[in-house]
Amino acid sequence: MIPERPIDEALRTLLDAACNDALTDEQFEHLEAALSASEDARQEYLRYFTLTGELRYLLSMAHADAAARERTGMEYVAGDHLADKPRIPSQETSPGVPFPVGIFRGMANGLSWEWTRAYLSATVILGLFLLVASFVYVSDSVSVDRSRQLVEETPEMPTMEFVGRITGMVDVKWSDDPRYLPPPGFAHVPLGRKYILSSGLLEITYDSGAKVILQGPCTYEVESTAGGYLALGKLTARVEEKRSEVRGQRSDHSPLSPLPSPLFSVRTPTALITDLGTEFGVEVDEAGITESHVFRGSVKVLVLDGTGNLPSPSERWAGDEGSGREVILRENESARVQPDKDAENRLVIVRGAADPAGFVRPGQLEQVAKERRLRPLRRWQAFSEKLRKRDDLVAYYDFQPDGDNYALLPNRAATGRRLDGRVDGAEWVHGRFPGRSALYFHGHGSGDKVVLPEPERFNFIGPFSVAVWFKVERFTEMYQALVAKGDTTWRLQQSGDTNLLAFDTDYDQNGERVPHHMPGRTEVADGRWHLAVAVYEPAGGVARKRLYLDGRLEGEDEAPLPLNENDEPVWLGANGRGSGREFWGLIDEAAVFAAALSADEVEAMFQAGSPERRVSP
């Protein structure tokens, strides 16, 4: 038996109350504090509850034994196999034995030694169980206390403050610096956010009412609820309306601003531009030279010192042109902050006229976006007009329908109507960019094609070239013809399991047709528009063949002469063999030349017609 040790009377009272589930909230807090503060108290807690468990168990067993022996009649369970096994009466039918209020203040009498010995083993096991459980409980309690302490000691994370939203984007390309994380489109604008554009336009609308358009390349950081730092590039700002409060607080301003509450201010490496109710533009070059242009209203331009700080009060005065440190610009005026030629490490202001054409202004973003969307179409239209005037152009198809006659694919070359194509099954859809049409070919087994009816126009003794703009929808067959003369003369097609382009020709050898296959090396089933150009050029006793993809040479080879000629028509989207070789995708331009196009001509064709304005290396 564990010897009794003297303990504090207050702690004993708390332990007695805990054993009898009688702790008040105040007593619970006192007990928790005592256990946390004293190792002796925790040891006493373990001892106290261990003995309590042992005695509670032994007393209950002794009471059950005495009650069973004192009964005059024994209650049996029905059943032959249980006839000699008595049932222990329930607690409700036997008198109760009170448990002592204080374990150390009194011991229950009448304990049966016989029952005590019988349950000695069980008591030891239970005691060990309660001991372990008590350790776990105390450990968890201390851990919870420590966790609460750590939470209380952890400083709160600063709350992110938003000052506006991104309200417009046109062709935005973010910095490719791997350390820069671009923001999600049309997101809230938080204080301290830096926007680094490689190109394109980004519009930010501040909660203060100011609209700001950044023109890439540009680096801009949001410094306050009414301003920011322009390190590089162009910015246009316009105040929509003046508000004295932003999100329940007075409008903040740049710490460098001389005004108590400006509507908007822009800080640069060399100047501070503060609006006075206006629309203005700011441009900063790589050397930090700042130009300010006022389109409406007026602004204050303050020249910073060589370290980017405010000048001293004696230097902040407006003087003659080129000598002032602080000037007021009005509508159609500009100022350039640049190094002074006569004084080292000094910046001066040089006045001039505003250049509104050099800035995209708020309100023009939608129109600029429309113009940029139409720019590829207009670039292609200008090139197409020149292309169709070439003397060596045999047939040219821009895939623009002729009025309401959707069964006709007009030939726009000088050869005219006799080489118009007949649309068979293919469906008219949108082409490479807005304003362009295309034909959608439904692939294997559809029978979709365009047939050009005068084969004699395409019988070439000399050089020729074939060009086609296409986009693959799906590749299901070994061969899918883009442009073919029958099935045996020549064809530009997709072929092979790797979705490569190929330029195939047949040539005569002792009156027999012998195929010559020349594949490319770049997969084209990637969901993008591609320009394929095949060039055939007889030279000496052989024909030189070249295959281009997107302005780049894919492959070249030599083939025997002569080319096998026949009277079969030229097909777009299929070949003369019929079902099973149809192209699955879109075509929106095709041309046939009686000439071998040069590499420069192929590159120019790609640059004029590319919807993504990609530049070939």
Question: Dihedral through CA 573, CA 576, CA 580, CA 581, nearest 10?
Answer: -40
CA distances, 107 to each of 58, 224, 570 (Å):
12, 76, 114
Kindly give the parts of the chain with pLDDT less than 50.
1-6, 69, 71-120, 124, 128, 132-133, 135-144, 147, 151, 243-261, 317-323, 614-617
Amino acid (1-letter code) at residue 568: E
Angle ∠(137,143,146) on CA atoms, nearest 5: 145
| Helices 39-70 and 25-37, packing angle to 10 deg | 120
Domains of the chain, by residue range, sit at 9-68+91-153, 162-358, 375-609
Per-residue model confidence (pLDDT) at position 248: 39
Q: Are strands 437-442 and 449-452 parallel, antiparallel or unpaired?
A: unpaired
CATH of domain 162-358: 2.60.120.1440
| Other beta carbons less than 10 A from residue 471's beta carbon | 20
Per-residue model confidence (pLDDT) at position 479: 78
Per-residue model confidence (pLDDT) at position 108: 37
Examine residue 562 and say whether the peptide bond preceding it is cis (omega within 30 degrees of 0).
yes
CATH of domain 375-609: 2.60.120.200
Beta bridge partners of 146: none
pLDDT tens, residue by residue, 317-352: 444 444 457 889 999 999 998 887 666 666 778 888
Q: Both tokens of residue 29?
A: 């807090």
CA atoms of 417 and 423, how far apart (whole Å): 14
- Matching CATH topology for 162-358 and 375-609? yes
CA atoms of 112 and 138, how far apart (whole Å): 34
Per-residue model confidence (pLDDT) at position 5: 43
Query: What letter does residue 100 receive in the DSSP assignment?
Result: P
Beta bridge partners of 585: 441, 472
